[in-house]
Structure 1
Amino acid sequence: MEISPVEIPSYFLCPISLEIMRDPVILSTGMTYDRSSIERWIFSEKHQTCPATNQPITDPDLITPNHTLRRLIQAWCVTHASDGIERFPTPKPPINKSQIISLLEDAKKPHNTVISLRKLRGLILEGERNKRLVEECVEVMDYLVSLIKNYTLEDKINEGHLWSEEDVLESASSIATTTPCEEALNLLHSLKLSDKGLIRVLERNEGFMDILTAIMAKSNYQSRVYAVFLVKSLVQVMSPTRMILVRSELIQEIVRVVKDQVSSKAVKTALQVLCRLGPWGRNRVKVVEAGAVQLIIDMLLDERDKKACELMLFALEQLCRCAEGRSQFILHDAGIALVSKKIFRVSHNATESSVRILNLVAKYLATPVVLQEMVQLGVVAKLFMVLQMDCSTKAKEKAKEILSLHCRVWRASPCLSPQLKAYYPS
């Protein structure tokens, strides 16, 4: 809607979005809001009180359309059309479960599957209430998972092997139509399932993570993106026992998503998954064995995005907490220099992760060669700067610990300037 100099009546504005209401609805507290705003407030953000009055919302489902106000707003828009005010159409009524079941029945007809799934996706994108209704419909969730399972099984029978990277690239450019599996993945991603819904998927579908692993191994790039988004959501609600039992194949495919740089969002999501899984069982070792340490260092060399740098450094820190990770870090020629360079250049979080990585290396891999390299590359000088600059307390503590740990070696080094030696912590 274009900006207009016309003064908009205050009661036409949603108290949450402060924009003209397109679908005004009345809460049980008597206040009126735009449907999309209040549904997001209640169902997505999980608030239980009225945003304007702070009164408890006794029945979240009791949202009544304010037809009178909507007609007034539409009439006002028509009156001020010459001022650039656009009249919006009458909103569609919210869907009910019978409509969802009807679409589900249509989707079960082979020639209607993709079209019906797209219609269902269009409905859930209309509002949070629609999303919640679809998520609570167990029949729909089971059907979507079954489409993914069946498609995966058929591919295994037809192909008998996992696709190579060249196959994936060729597939991504040649597929002209969307498959039911891809639509199901897209729909599950669009639903943004609640924790309760995600747990239900895991409990009712043993081996679902293996299916997502297979999709990431042999599907086109779009399906891999949806699959890694789903993996992230599922991992967030997994019990410690489930995370300990995660297969190496899943971790390998997550690392491959990072390596292939499918999309910037997919890479960040994959890194978050690795960080989430890392602390449990032997998962850190599995991630290292998948080549993640060398890969992350290589990517950090050219990475300019702040959020991506923070995630990569945090992931690298997690991997350096195991002996295998530290060994791989040292083997990379640019490891120490790169991490030191990131101090002060990205963010406070990146600086803290970088100092922690150096701390782990200095504690457990402090060979004469490594210590000499840290002096020559200016790492020791950077650590002194950490003590003097505006860094977090934790970063300063870790920097001081490194300097104190190897004070005898570095104080005697001719590579360390007298000015720095004078600032050496006691």
Structure 2
Amino acid sequence: MRDPVTTVTGITYDRASIKQWLATAAVCPVTKQPLPPTSDLTPNHMLRRLIQAWCTANAVDRIPTPKSPLQRSIVLKLIRELNRSPDADRSTQMNALTIIDKLAAENDGVNRHIMAVAGVPNAMLLFIVKYFKIGEILGVEEALRVLKLTWTPEAEIGFVGDNSDVIGSIMWILKIEIEDSAKLNALIALKNLIEIETSTLIEKLNLEFFEEIVKMMKEKKFAQAAIQVLIETCSWGRNRAMIVAAGAVAELIEMELRSNQETKRATEVVFGLLAQLCYCAEGRQELLKHAAGMAVVAKRLLRNSAATDDRALCVMESVARFAATKEVVAEMLRVGAVAKLCMVMQADCADYLKRKAREILRLHSSDWSNSPCIQVYLLTRNPR
């Protein structure tokens, strides 16, 4: 053991080992009594000293004394100092923020959990909003870094639902001259907030908001985070239409044209948003308006991952079912979309993908039946 701790059930474990256990099973490994992941773990100083003495006596590298866990009372005191008015005592406020930033970076996540439970994420948002209102960026970068490090889905974010200033403050950060890392942290914070938000605030987002996020998409270093923000907001039909109006569809296609497929995940995220935008008529129209729209979808099918295949087929189905003019049907054949659908039917892929491809082929079988790819498919689908 490097850091022996005793649980409320009276059994001593190594801290790292018991925390890893509690991440998957909320019981004491020995007594089988309930042991929630948030249970107190009391340092066993006597056992630690015995281990260290044994190491010294047996010429083994002595295990260092671990740092004491951060106390909740200290965190609450720092939050109180941080909540002071900037005009009252700015130096004390900045000093508290510096200490919080340092603590969040220490101790392999232990401090971060304690800080999250104590309300640090909420305090960081309040700090950012406060400085947004007075138009100063002092300390904002540190606050965003702490917010990223201490954020958990269970964090108490009590004021966001009825205060749209937090969205306004993050949009302000994206527009001002500030470090790129801070802008990236702001996008991550925006995504996290939207994930837990009620519909009240999400449905109030306007076209200017989406235009700014699409603008961030155009820079490679922000692209994935910006797309994640749009994915979180486009479940609302009104928002979906505004995302399309902001130019997202064309930008997604251009991203894939520029892409060298560095990671499968990047293409999956792009197609995840593209599939959702093509559920609305405006999205399908923008996809077909782009000269390479359908060609990009066809090209990525069967070349990336099952998740990308699923979303590419969703795009094709939306177009084939709701926007299939004669020109569109002919274009799908010309750019190889129909050939790829036939390949899906014969490829070693999931059955649900084959069912999707079959349904799309059936929609316009009369128009595509005489094409060479269909003829080859019919000849080879039941090989002897």
> When the two structures are superposed, what TM-score results if normalisation uses the length of structure 1?
0.78
Deviation at 1:145, TM superposition (A): 3.0
Deviation at 1:76, TM superposition (A): 4.6
SS of corresponding position for 2:189:
helix
Deviation at 1:401, TM superposition (A): 1.3
Residues 74, 88 of structure 1: 8 Å contact kept: yes
Partner of 1:245: 204
Provide structure 1 residue ranges, at least 5 long, that are not aligned to the other structure: 1-11, 13-20, 159-177
SS of corresponding position for 2:13:
strand
Count of residues in Structure 1 that have an aligned counterpart in Structure 2: 373
> Structure 2 vs 1, CA of residues 142 and 345 (structure 1 numbering), >3 Å: closer, same or farther?
closer
Task: Name which of 371, 374, 377 aligns with 1:420.
Answer: 377
Deviation at 1:417, TM superposition (A): 6.0
> Structure 2 vs 1, CA of residues 207 and 46 (structure 1 numbering), >3 Å: closer, same or farther?
farther
Partner of 2:40: 62
Deviation at 1:320, TM superposition (A): 0.6
Q: Is residue 147 of structure 2 the alignment partner of residue 188 of structure 1? A: yes
Give the Cα separation in 2 of the matches to 1:343 and 1:120.
47
Task: Name which of 328, 342, 349 aligns with 2:286.
Answer: 328
Partner of 2:66: 91
Task: Name which of 83, 88, 103 aligns with 2:78.
Answer: 103
Partner of 1:171: none
Percentage of matched positions with identical amino acids: 34
Q: Deviations for 1:11-66, whole angstroms, at most 9, x for unmatched residues?
A: x3xxxxxxxx2x22111223333335545665xx4853235654302794432111
- Comparing 315-324 and 179-188, the one that deviates more: 179-188
Give the Cα separation in 2 of the matches to 1:189 and 1:285.
30
Q: Is residue 225 of structure 2 the alignment partner of residue 269 of structure 1? A: yes
Aligned counterparts, 1:124-143, within 5 A: 124=104, 125-126=106-107, 130-137=111-118, 143=123
> Structure 2 vs 1, CA of residues 40 and 333 (structure 1 numbering), >3 Å: closer, same or farther?
same
What amino acid is aligned across from residue 99 of structure 1 in structure 2? I
> When the two structures are superposed, what TM-score results if normalisation uses the length of structure 2?
0.86
Partner of 1:304: 262
- Comparing 59-68 and 313-322, the one that deviates more: 59-68
Residues 296, 312 of structure 1: 8 Å contact kept: yes
Q: Deviations for 1:304-340, whole angstroms, at most 9, x for unmatched residues?
A: 2111111111111111111111111111222111111
Give the Cα separation in 1 of the matches to 2:268 and 2:138.
36
Partner of 1:167: none
Give the Cα separation in 1 of the matches to 2:93 and 2:20.
29
Provide structure 2 residue ranges, at least 5 long, that are not aligned to the other structure: none
What amino acid is aligned across from residue 231 of structure 2 in structure 1? C
Give the Cα separation in 2 of the matches to 1:52 and 1:248.
57
Deviation at 1:383, TM superposition (A): 0.7
Residues 121, 190 of structure 1: 8 Å contact kept: no
Give the Cα separation in 2 of the matches to 1:298 and 1:149.
35
Aligned counterparts, 1:399-414, within 5 A: 399-413=357-371
Residues 116, 155 of structure 2: 8 Å contact kept: no
Partner of 2:27: 49
What amino acid is aligned across from residue 146 of structure 2 in structure 1? L
- Comparing 200-209 and 309-318, the one that deviates more: 200-209
Task: Name which of 242, 247, 254 aligns with 1:286.
Answer: 242
Give the Cα separation in 2 of the matches to 1:366 and 1:234.
38
> Structure 2 vs 1, CA of residues 247 and 52 (structure 1 numbering), >3 Å: closer, same or farther?
farther
Give the Cα separation in 2 of the matches to 1:364 and 1:407.
16
Give the Cα separation in 2 of the matches to 1:417 and 1:101.
68
> Structure 2 vs 1, CA of residues 214 and 325 (structure 1 numbering), >3 Å: closer, same or farther?
same
Task: Name which of 50, 59, 74 aligns with 1:72.
Answer: 50
> Structure 2 vs 1, CA of residues 148 and 46 (structure 1 numbering), >3 Å: closer, same or farther?
farther
> Structure 2 vs 1, CA of residues 267 and 33 (structure 1 numbering), >3 Å: closer, same or farther?
farther
Residues 210, 250 of structure 1: 8 Å contact kept: no
Aligned counterparts, 1:120-269, within 5 A: 120-124=100-104, 125-126=106-107, 130-137=111-118, 143-155=123-135, 179-198=138-157, 200-203=158-161, 205-220=163-178, 221-262=180-221, 266-269=222-225
- Comparing 72-81 and 342-351, the one that deviates more: 72-81
> Structure 2 vs 1, CA of residues 344 and 79 (structure 1 numbering), >3 Å: closer, same or farther?
farther
Deviation at 1:295, TM superposition (A): 0.9
Give the Cα separation in 2 of the matches to 1:211 and 1:80.
59
What amino acid is aligned across from residue 339 of structure 1 in structure 2? V
Residues 72, 114 of structure 2: 8 Å contact kept: yes
RMSD in angstroms over aligned alpha carbons? 2.9
Give the Cα separation in 1 of the matches to 2:37 and 2:375.
72
Q: Is residue 1 of structure 2 the alignment partner of residue 26 of structure 1? A: no
